[in-house]
Amino acid sequence: MSRKIGLQLWSIKQDLEKDFKAGLKRVAQLGYDGVEFAGYYGIEAPKMKELLQEYGLEVAGVHHNVDELDQNLEAIMAYNRVLENRDIVCAWAPTESYEQVQESIRKLQKAAAVLRENGFRLHYHNHSHEFVQYDGEYAIDIMAKAVEGMKAEVDTYWVWNAGVDVCAYLEKRREDITLVHIKDGTKEVRTAVGEGIVDIQSILDKSAEIGAQWLIVEDESEPGGLDSVARGIRNLKEKFTVR
Q: What was the pLDDT predicted at 198?
A: 98
- Top CATH class of 4-239 equals alpha beta
At 2 the pLDDT is: 74
Cα distances (Å, whole numbers) of residue 105 to 10, 87, 88, 129: 25, 19, 16, 15
Biggest CA pair distance of the chain? 51
User: Domain segments of the chain: what residues?
Assistant: 4-239
Q: Where are the alpha helices (DSSP H) in the chain?
A: 13-18, 20-29, 45-55, 66-71, 73-83, 98-117, 139-146, 156-161, 166-172, 200-210, 226-239
Predicted pLDDT of residue 178: 93
* This model's pTM is above 0.85: yes
- Other CB atoms within a 10 A radius of the CB of residue 19 amount to 11
Instruction: Give the pLDDT means over successive 10-residue stretches in the chain (243 positions).
Output: 90 98 98 98 98 98 98 98 98 98 98 98 98 98 98 98 98 97 97 98 98 97 97 97 94
Amino acid 68: pLDDT: 98
Integer Cα distance of 160 and 197 in angstroms: 10
Cα separation, 241 vs 2, whole angstroms: 9
| pLDDT at residue 24, as a whole number | 98
